Amino acid sequence: MPDSLTRSFANLPAALLERRFELPDEDATLAFGGRFAQAILKVRLAKSDTSNERFPGLQVQLIGDLGAGKTTLVRATLRALGHAGRVRSPTYTLVEPYSLATDTGPLELYHFDLYRFADPAEWADAGFREYFDAGAICLVEWPQRAGGLLGVPDLEFTLEQEGEGRVLTARAFSETGKSCLESC
């Protein structure tokens, strides 16, 4: 089994919800990103409408080999959230921040790529921990590289090659993640 996929079968509690999406071509991935973006906004709005609670943010771990489509999915999500500029892969910087102006208010999104992550001390020094506690959306490629530093995500998306296309297995580990997944 490839290194990238082993993580999905270890360390996490039972999922609250699991769904499988066939993504036969890139357009299907782009469409899924659009639905995921709408789901995020809907769940965030519902949270702020129905209680005094603050939207707790969303951590999404993206599992899959090089070329599986992780960055493509992040790009699609960002586009659907209104980002018009480039989406570069943060392979060397580890994180790329986005401040988005959505119809339902400002939204912070952090795109991580931890492929070259090496040093847990760097994680703390760079203040990355705080990004996960600030009501932001954190989309994390190669979460395996950070070991246990990330904790249990709200959602885990595993992308696998199937013929010319991809299959996305999505698992939710929190109520927020489950609500998002139900709307996808």
Gap between the terminal Cα atoms of the chain: 28
Closest CA to 116 of 144, 156, 149, 74: 144
Nearer to ligand ADP, 54 or 116 (CB): 116
Q: Which token pair is 43?
A: 């769940």
7 binds ligand ADP (CB under 6 A): no
Residue of 40, 44, 57, 69 interacting with ligand ADP (CB under 6 A): 69
18 binds ligand ADP (CB under 6 A): no
Distance CA 102, CA 84 (A): 12
Nearer to Mg ion, 71 or 176 (CB): 71
90 binds ligand ADP (CB under 6 A): no
165 binds ligand ADP (CB under 6 A): yes
Summarize as ranges the residues that interact with Mg ion (CB under 5 A): 70-71, 141
Nearer to ligand ADP, 47 or 79 (CB): 79
**Distance, C-alpha 134 to centroid of its chain:** 15
Q: What residues pair up with 158 in beta bridges, in sequence order?
A: 63, 169
Residue of 6, 19, 67, 105 interacting with ligand ADP (CB under 6 A): 67
| Ramachandran quadrant class, 102 (left: phi over 0; alpha: psi -120 to 50; beta: rest) | beta
Residue of 8, 71, 144, 158 interacting with ligand ADP (CB under 6 A): 71
Q: What residues pair up with 144 in beta bridges, in sequence order?
A: none
Listed ranges 37-45, 51-59, 69-77, 144-152: which one lies at the site for ligand ADP (CB under 6 A):
69-77
**At CA 176, angle to CA 175 and CA 181, rounded to 5?**
95
Nearer to ligand ADP, 16 or 87 (CB): 87
